[in-house]
Structure formats: C-alpha cells, structure tokens
Chain A
Amino acid sequence: MAGGFFDRSAIVAPPGWSRWLVPPAALAVHLGIGQAYAWSNIKTALGTGPGNLGYSGTATALPFQLAIVMLGLSAAFGGTQVEKRGPRWAMFVSTVFFSGGFLISALGMAFSQYWLVVVGYGFFGGIGLGIGYISPVSTLMKWFADRPGMATGIAIMGFGGGALIAAPIETALIATFGKSYGGFSMTFLVMGIGYAVFMSLGWLLVRVPADDWQPPNPLQASPGSTGHGPAVSVSTAMRLPQFWFLWIVLCFNVTAGIGLLERANPIYQDFFATTGPTTQIAAAAGAFVSILSLANMLGRFVWSSASDVIGRKNIYRMYLGVGALLYLVILTLGEGNKVIFLIASLLILSFYGAGFATVPAYLKDLFGTYQVGAIHGRLLTAWSAAGVLGPLVVNAIVDAQGDEQGPSKYSVSFMIMIGLLAVGFVANELIRPVDPKHYVPDAERGGVEGAGVGTSSTESSSQRNEEVSR
C-alpha cells in the first residue's frame, strides 16, 4: 500500500486545490537541503582551531565535496525516476536520505568514526540533495505555466536560503553540545531529526495538477509553454545542440560567480587593505561574505521572475553580458571605492544565483515540460564542472602570483572570468528553438505530464520561435 501513497496518481489535486500550496512544499525541501552551503560552520569546528577536534582541512572538506558530487550524479541519473514516480516519492526519498545522512553521521561521531560522517553526510546526504533539488521543478512549472520563472525562482531561492537558516542553528548547537565527539554526535542527531520533520511538509503537501486543470491566467502564459508546444524526451534532448549550448551557459555563469564567491573574504581585504585598521577590514570582509549570500538568494527570485516578462534569452544576455562588464568595473574602478565594488559584486552574485533559478524555465521553453525534470538533472552536471573549474582558476592563478599584493593579484583570474562569460554569451546567442521533428507525438505525452499547460492547441511555431529568441 505504501507504493500507492507515494504514487503520482495518489497526489492529483482535487478541484479547488490552491496552487499556492505547492511553493511551500517545494520550499520545505529546498530550504532543508540548502543546509549544504552552511557546511563550513561544521567544517571549522571539526578543524584544527583551539578546542576543535583537529581534523585537517582536506578531511573536513570531504563530506561536502562528496555531497556535491553525489548531488550532480543523483540529479543526473535519478531525474528519470523522479519524472516517472512523481514529486511525493522524490521528496520523501530526499527527506530520508538527507536526514538519514545526519543520523549516520551522528552514529559515526558517537563511536569516533569520522569516515561515517563522510559516508553519511557526503554519500547518503548528497543523494538527498540531488533528488530533492530536482523534485519540485517540473511540478511547479505545470502549476505555474503562466509564471514558470517565478515558480522555480521561489524554490531555488530556497536552496540559497537554506544556509541562512542552518548557519545560526549550527552555531547554537555546537555551542550547546560542545566540540567533542559526543557533542558533534548530538548536533548531527538534532539536525537529522529537525530536517526530517521540517522537510516532511514537502511530501505530505505536494500535489500535481489534474489533466484538465488550467492556470488562472492563460492570456499571460508564455507562448513557448502553452498548448501542444515542445515535448522532447531526455534522450533526444541530450543529442541536441540546444542542450549543450545551455550546458555551457550554465557552467560558465556559475564558474564566474564561484570565482568571486570562493575567495570573497580575501578579495575584499585585498581591495580595501588601506582603508582602515586590519581588524575592522577583517570584520567588514566577513560581512561582505554574508551580504553576497543574500544577493545570491534574492537574485534567484527577482531575476528569474523577471525572465517571465522579458524572456529567458534576454535575461541570460544580462547575466552574461552585464556580468562580464561588472567584472571589468571591479577591476578598473573597484579599488578603494566601496560603493562601486559592492554594487558590482552584489549584482554578479545575484546573476550567479539567478542562473540556477532561471534555467528550468529556459529548459521548459526549449524542450517542454514532458521530461523537463530529467533534462534538468542532466544539465546540473554543468554545476559540478563549474564547482571544480571556478575555484581552480581563481586559486591556481592567485597562488601562482606569489607575493603580489592588492587587487592586481586578481587581474588575470578576473580577465579569465570575463572571457568565460563572453563564451557563455555567444553560446546563449546560438540557442535556437528545437525543430518540431524532435517532439514526441501527442499520443505519447499523456497523463499529468501535459497537465496544466494545455491552454491552446493552435499555437504556431512562430510563437515558439519568438519566445525562445527573447
């Protein structure tokens, strides 16, 4: 019977069900798994500082690194299952794996076996991250076919916001239970139970729209998302240039953001080294990191929502083109000029977050909602690649410059970021609407896959061309 409860057919919304119940379900999952970005708090306490457990930087980075690798792999390989089984199953699996990862970690610390933290948080928790990340995406786009960018922006903003919730909680738990093995065991135990409860709202509440459900604002529907529009299978999408151009767009947009995010603290200190006492600059650099995370989070909602109005291609022109110009502004005018430096940095990070949030709607415009969750999962491998590429570029170049001081230390790496953004800009320009010959036949679309998006059966391919080109 359990299979029935988690089955897609068990969660078809009854008449009158509010679609505004779906975003909180998605947020419960994304705000939970977004804790991953706050691993650094735990990492620091496990590390070599006074009173800490004394694990090396490499050892304490391992759980997070493995979790990000597993995120990419499980999103890529689990996407098809998520599409097939539906969002309740996916959210439940995510809850079990993510909170289970904490419980395994708690057990590991209780027996002073750190490798269990790597396996628990990294391997099992990482699977929870990947499945959870893609779990609400296609469902949200079906409910909000008239505002897909806003809908996915809300959910993916949750992933950015998850760290904001987790960071002060982790600090409080570590302060309460202490930095011993037993203390960390209790911290992981409380977090595991807490996230299990918090994320459960998602799989209990999520619903898919009925076959005949229509969005309330059909006249404002995105032309590319209505009627018998694009419906491309994941296997076909992977063979099309549109997928790989978008892969490059996402990869380089993320790389450029990580380039700044990864070394935000030292970058700030180098740009403003001469503007005050060292302790004051260090405190301001810490605040700079915090405000960047706020920009990263808000950009996901604001710019992704704006893409519903100005078009997906145009908004990526802004992320990539204006992003490159902003890097140039920081390089040429940023030293000692706090206002310009802050505005440019905040915009770059808002574009970084928005790149994640807007991409599901871009995929929907190109390939339709038919298997968009699975296609999105495959596309997230671009994130994994960027996670390696961004820090590699910045760290390797800065380290190679040895004793050089001040902003000039970053000139080469920032120029590389500008180059990557320019390549991404060109890739975005090369994206064209998918030829209808690649669509699956109408008879195969069936069921709730097409629900909520059938507002017009007379849509012309010229309308779709217009949508994808703006």
Chain B
Amino acid sequence: MTAGRTALTVVAWLWVTIPFLYGVIALIGKIGALF
C-alpha cells in the first residue's frame, strides 16, 4: 500500500473513531452512579 493510501486509511479511521470515543467517554461518565 502506498504512503498516500496509508495516510488516507489513518484519516478515515480517525474520522469515525474520534466522535465515537467522545460518545463513549460521555457515557462512561454517567455509569459511575451505578456503583
């Protein structure tokens, strides 16, 4: 795979994982009330 495609793959995964992690972190903040 070329360097360009590797960079594209990294950017594409960051595009979806950053918002996803933001959501997961926001969720985990609420779970503390269970324990």
Encode B12-24 as 1/0 by CB contact (under 8 A) with A: 1101100110111
| Size bracket, chain B contacts | 20 to 34
Cα distance A21–B5 when bound, in Å? 9
Encode A131-170 as 1/0 by CB contact (under 8 A) with B: 0000000000000000000000000001001011111100
Q: Which of B9, B16, B20, B33 has the most CB of A within 10 A?
A: B16
8 A Cβ contacts from B1-35 to A: 1-2, 5, 8-9, 12-13, 15-16, 19-20, 22-24, 26-27, 30-34
Cα distance A407–B31 when bound, in Å? 23
8 A Cβ contacts from A5-50 to B: 16-18, 20-21, 24-25, 27-28, 31
Chain B residues contacting A290 (CB-CB under 8 Å) are 27, 30-31
Q: Is B19 a contact partner of A198 (Cβ separation < 8 A)?
A: yes
Contacts A24-B12, A161-B23, A294-B27 known; 17 new A-B pairs at CB < 8 A: A16-B1, A18-B9, A21-B5, A24-B9, A164-B24, A165-B19, A167-B26, A201-B12, A201-B15, A201-B16, A286-B30, A286-B33, A287-B32, A287-B34, A291-B34, A294-B31, A342-B34
Residues of B within 8 A of A (CB): 1-2, 5, 8-9, 12-13, 15-16, 19-20, 22-24, 26-27, 30-34
A–B pairs, 30, beta carbons within 8 Å: A16-B1, A16-B2, A16-B5, A18-B9, A20-B13, A21-B5, A21-B9, A21-B12, A24-B12, A24-B13, A27-B20, A31-B19, A158-B16, A158-B20, A161-B20, A161-B24, A167-B23, A167-B27, A168-B22, A201-B12, A201-B15, A280-B33, A283-B33, A284-B34, A286-B33, A290-B27, A290-B30, A294-B24, A294-B31, A342-B34
